[in-house]
Amino acid sequence: MADLSEFDIIKQYFSFPHYGHQPSENVLLGVGDDAAILSSSKNPLVVATDTLIEGVHFPNNFLPQHIASRALGVNVSDFAAMGVKPTAMTMALSLPASDSQWLADFSRSLAQQCEYYGIALVGGDTTKSPCLSVSLTLLGNTYDEGGSTLRRSAAQDGDDIWVTGSLGKGAAALALLTDTFSREEWPCNQTAKENLIASFYAPQPRLDFGIELLALANAAIDISDGLLADSQHIAEQSQSQLSIIGDSLPLHSGLVSHTDPDKIKQWALSGGDDYELLFTAAPSRAEAIVALSDKHQLPCQKIGAVKSGRGVKLLGRDWSGFEVDGYRHF
């Protein structure tokens, strides 16, 4: 198979016809020139970048279509946590080789996801590197000229703490993928296994829910480093204490067949990669939040309260001894 040049790669795989040549509304110039041009808006611009590196964020030999769905999913999750819709993105792609089958699978999956979320790929950079990595930068405007978003710093004393979906699935899926347990330890059935792994391949960011949550919640964060570590971010930036009731945490149903309850707790608290939303809202919003949860068919669980003080407190007899500890690169 002949090696493709950098320019062939861009033209063939990353000039999505849908967007590149018939740019969407706010894209005045897409892939192909020295830079992209987007129309500006009076509403403030929101920007976020997330990088995925082989061997760090996903196991070696992960399929290209899953790398694409995961890369976009985790990036969109950051926008969900701000309550903002992303509309454009750039991609820095580093590849050990120009493998046309890999590129075809990767770009097809990326194009599908971009279309699903309404995001235009407007530019990027393609380089050769011994290590495979994908870095996406997403852009989108706030709803109003005032720049309303959900923020980590906005939790108020007396707020309820909520979490969407279920916890522990990211870490449990990684254990399944890397085979770091025995059958006796975790007699996980086939359906649970498939569900967990599918959620790792293609995280489902809570974007539509997050956008509507903007009107109801005060603070929000997406759970990428683990419930406790991400709660800690809200506590620090809001200068308050997050008091969480261990027994109220919504554990993913696939985990409960694990024979070691401490392992389940550790996955749910510190495992990371769940891409759920953790948010705080005034108790008077509870009814509206339940209605939003019903509308989006996305379970939401109240897990505690914001209090005056500092840090994260985990309450419950069986939950003491779990340190606040998420994944840290350094």
Contacts of 133 (CB under 8 A, 6+ apart): 51, 52, 53, 54, 92, 93, 94
Tokens 């495979």: give the residue. Answer: 132
Phi-psi region of 95 (alpha: psi -120 to 50; beta: other; left: phi over 0): beta
Distance CA(297)–CA(208), nearest Å, equals 11
Q: Restricting to residues 62-101, name those near ligand ADP by CB under 6 A.
A: 91, 93
Which of 77, 126, 241, 280 binds ligand ADP (CB under 6 A)? It is 126
For position 19 contacting ligand ADP by CB under 6 A, the verdict is: no
Contacts (CB under 6 A) with ligand ADP, residues 29-58: 31-34
Number of residues counted as binding ligand ADP (CB under 6 A) = 13
How far apart, in Å, do the first and last CA atoms of the chain sit?
Answer: 40
# of chain residues touching Mg ion (CB under 5 A): 1
Q: Taking CB under 6 A as the rule, does residue 10 contact ligand ADP?
A: yes
CA 146, CA 93: separation in Å to the nearest integer? 34
Binding range to ligand ADP, per CB under 6 A, among 56-64, 124-132, 160-168, 247-255: 124-132
- 98-127 positions binding Mg ion, by CB under 5 A: 125
8 A C-beta contact, residue 107 and residue 88 = no
Minimum CB distance to ligand ADP, residue 132 (Å): 13
The answer to whether 103 contacts ligand ADP (rule: CB under 6 A) is no
What is the distance between the alpha carbons of residues 209 and 81, in angstroms, rounded to a whole number?
A: 9
Kindly tell me which of 7 and 330 has the beta carbon lying closer to Mg ion.
7
Residue 31 CB, shortest distance to ligand ADP, in Å, is 4
Helices and strands in the chain, H and E counts: 10, 12
Q: How far is the CB of 46 from ligand ADP (least distance, A)?
A: 20
Neighbouring-strand partners of residue 160:
281, 305
CB 72, min distance to ligand ADP, A: 13
In the complex, the residues that contact Mg ion under the rule CB under 5 A are 125
In the complex, the residues that contact ligand ADP under the rule CB under 6 A are 10, 14, 31-34, 91, 93, 121, 123-126
